[in-house]
Chain A
Amino acid sequence: MTPVSNLARILSEGQFAVTAECGPPQGADPTPLKEKGSLLKGAADAVNLTDNQTAVVRLSSLASAVALKDLGLEPVLQVVTRDRNRIALQSDLLGASSLGLRNVLCLTGDHQSFGNQAGAMGVFDLDSIQLLHTARTMRDQGRLIDGTELSSRPFFFLGAAANPFADPLGFRVIRLAKKIDAGAEFIQTQCIYNRERFEAWLKQAREEGLTERAFILGGITPLKSVRMAEYMASKVAGMDVPEEVIRRMKGAPAKGQGAEGIRLAVETIEWLKSLGGVAGVHLMAIGWEEKVPEILEAAGLLPRPAQAD
């Protein structure tokens, strides 16, 4: 099947892919987003636009994706099921495809209690796996999930998130399999600090044949400081930051912590490249987008393959 997006093409050609992430602003003017986006141009094969991440209201991922597409970047549209029912989700998927957006990452979303609208109703009409199934049904059968025929089909390259570090541990690879069965073609993982645990998960995935069926991109978030490392270790659900990583950050001089975090990120990318079954890297440098080109350069991943038209 012809790859429908630049990201899909690069992955299907067996090249080590790079995706990055961009958080839209808490306002109606997309300029800050465009500024962040332009830092990533030429550095990433595709850029994720988050969907009201941590349940904080932001410029919609759909509008943000169009803004970056107009700059010549290829977006990955993130869609959460927390805020919209199946009517709105299917409608938005049609809308996304009509605007030329192809990469769609299907997520459940952080609970609304984390955000700034804590009294909001959490919709959760569908979960992420049902959303994948829905998008694939629309794409491959040209139907909505009730069976209604579409007048024209959308085109998607479908993705999902995977967390090798969340509980229950024994179930994580089964969940990955379910996502791929439901239609996930590429996977972006939670950011990796615990290599041992990631390798164990990857090994299991490989044994289940999952690395053959979907492209797995390892998540990387460069640590800016010891405080950030400690915060992520204790306050963020589903995050695994081993003690030795925190010690390493502490070992760096106060002004050099960021540089140490970048060094660690580069080493992790190089290690990922060496693992069999990893198809690329997903750089989540939220608020630190300007460092992405530097990290990729150091990891030998620049220049990126040219975008086909």
Chain B
Amino acid sequence: MIVAERKPLAEILELVAGAKRLLVVGCDTCVAECAAGGRKEVAETAALLRMAFEQAGSEVEVREASLDRQCVNQFLAQVGEDVAWADTVLSLGCGAGVQALARFYPDQVFVPALNTQFIGTTVEAGVWAEDCSGCGDCKLAYFGAVCPLTRCSKRLLNGPCGGSRNGKCEVSPDVDCAWQLIYDRLAALNQLDRLRAFVAPNDWSTSHSGRPRTIIREDRRV
């Protein structure tokens, strides 16, 4: 899922400063899973904002709403009345959700409550880790299903570097060395010979580095 974290309250207050009718809208897909922007987090954020506004003596009315997804127009359409009522909308969606809302309701002010970070998984309750950086040319088959571009701090394709220590990355003992993981997996799969071969420089043109990307499927267009 897309994993995000809520911005500090102080920053959110700055972003919504001046609002009199504030709509807080969440998303119940990815950001609900990572406990950042689902309906519970909407309720939490709204409660915090109400208290902060009251403390500051600001008269602000706060409404709450939640969408199944903020990245699909059919869902965005459901919140039209609340959007029209508000003078500012605080979106607890990921960066895509905030922008989708802004495209769908071009006359409204949308402000992000979250810092969107990565594509990842719930490793265990309360822990989310980055797995995929959307390179556009998936090579997981060659690396024992551990992505070197995403999980190696230096994006090495012919890793590891000399900084790998006890299975941890030189950047931090909290970060696993991806190449230790790749090595261990390929060893377990009896595919260590994969690591002997030279991996040529990556073609980054399929990644974000190339350009903002769009996929069009004519068979799916109305």
A and B touch in the complex (CB under 8 A): yes
Q: Which residues of B contact A108 (CB under 8 A)?
A: 154, 156, 161
Q: Which residues of B contact A182 (CB under 8 A)?
A: 198
A167 touches which of B157, B158, B180, B198 (Cβ 8 Å): B180
Binds B, one of A71-79, A171-179, A209-217, A298-306: A171-179
Q: Which residues of B contact A129 (CB under 8 A)?
A: 158, 198
A161 touches which of B155, B160, B162 (Cβ 8 Å): B162
- What are 14 A-B pairs with beta-carbon distances under 8 A? A111-B154, A111-B163, A124-B154, A124-B155, A127-B154, A128-B161, A129-B158, A130-B157, A130-B200, A134-B201, A166-B162, A167-B167, A168-B184, A175-B158
- Which chain B residue shows the least CB distance to A166? B162
Q: Which positions 82-112 of chain A face chain B at CB distance < 8 Å? A: 82, 86, 108-111
Any chain B CB within 8 A of the CB of A139? no
**Is B157 in contact with A163, judged by CB distance below 8 angstroms?**
no
Report how far A134 CA is from B201 CA in the complex, Å: 9
Q: How far is the CB of A219 from chain B (nearest CB, A)?
A: 11
Report how far A134 CA is from B154 CA in the complex, Å: 18
**Is A237 in contact with B170, judged by CB distance below 8 angstroms?**
yes
**Is A166 in contact with B165, judged by CB distance below 8 angstroms?**
yes
8 smallest CB-CB distances across A and B, nearest first, come from A163-B162, A237-B170, A129-B158, A237-B163, A238-B162, A127-B156, A124-B155, A166-B162
Any chain B CB within 8 A of the CB of A181? yes
Q: Which residues of B contact A175 (CB under 8 A)?
A: 158, 160
- Which chain A residue shows the least CB distance to B162? A163
**Is B159 in contact with A113, judged by CB distance below 8 angstroms?**
no
**Is B177 in contact with A167, judged by CB distance below 8 angstroms?**
yes
**Is B196 in contact with A174, judged by CB distance below 8 angstroms?**
yes
Q: How far is the CB of A168 from chain B (nearest CB, A)?
A: 5
Q: Which positions 142-172 of chain A face chain B at CB distance < 8 Å? A: 145, 161-163, 166-168, 170-171
A111 touches which of B153, B195, B202, B204 (Cβ 8 Å): B153
Any chain A CB within 8 A of the CB of B115? no
A174 touches which of B163, B180, B195 (Cβ 8 Å): B195
Q: Which residues of B contact A86 (CB under 8 A)?
A: 201
B154 touches which of A122, A133, A166 (Cβ 8 Å): A122
Report how far A288 CA is from B7 CA in the complex, Å: 48
**Is A238 in contact with B171, judged by CB distance below 8 angstroms?**
no
Any chain A CB within 8 A of the CB of B166? yes
**Is B170 in contact with A130, judged by CB distance below 8 angstroms?**
no
Most A-side CB within 10 Å, residue of B158, B160, B164, B200: B158
**Is A124 in contact with B156, judged by CB distance below 8 angstroms?**
yes
**Is A168 in contact with B183, judged by CB distance below 8 angstroms?**
yes
Report how far A300 CA is from B136 CA in the complex, Å: 57
Most B-side CB within 10 Å, residue of A86, A111, A125: A111
**Is B164 in contact with A178, judged by CB distance below 8 angstroms?**
no
**Is B158 in contact with A130, judged by CB distance below 8 angstroms?**
yes
- Which chain B residue shows the least CB distance to A181? B198
Most B-side CB within 10 Å, residue of A114, A145, A168, A238: A168
Q: Which positions 101-143 of chain B face chain A at CB distance < 8 Å? A: none
Q: How far is the CB of A114 from chain B (nearest CB, A)?
A: 8
**Is B201 in contact with A126, judged by CB distance below 8 angstroms?**
yes
Q: Which residues of A contact B170 (CB under 8 A)?
A: 110-111, 114, 237-238
Any chain B CB within 8 A of the CB of A190? yes
Q: Which residues of A contact B171 (CB under 8 A)?
A: 111, 113
User: Hey, what's the 0/1 contact readout for A111-141 against B, CB within 8 Å counting as 1?
Assistant: 1011000000010111111100110000000
Report how far A122 CA is from B158 CA in the complex, Å: 17
Q: How far is the CB of A277 from chain B (nearest CB, A)?
A: 20
User: Hey, what's the 0/1 contact readout for A247-268 against B, CB within 8 Å counting as 1?
Assistant: 0000000000000000000000
**Is A178 in contact with B167, judged by CB distance below 8 angstroms?**
no
Given known contacts A86-B201, A178-B196, A127 and B163 CB-to-CB distance under 8 angstroms? no
**Is A166 in contact with B195, judged by CB distance below 8 angstroms?**
no
Q: How far is the CB of B59 from chain A (nearest CB, A)?
A: 39
**Is B166 in contact with A167, judged by CB distance below 8 angstroms?**
yes
- Which chain B residue shows the least CB distance to A168? B183
B159 touches which of A110, A111, A127 (Cβ 8 Å): A127
Given known contacts A130-B158, A130-B201, A167-B166, A177 and B196 CB-to-CB distance under 8 angstroms? yes
Q: Which residues of A contact B162 (CB under 8 A)?
A: 161-163, 166, 190, 237-238
Report how far A129 CA is from B199 CA in the complex, Å: 9
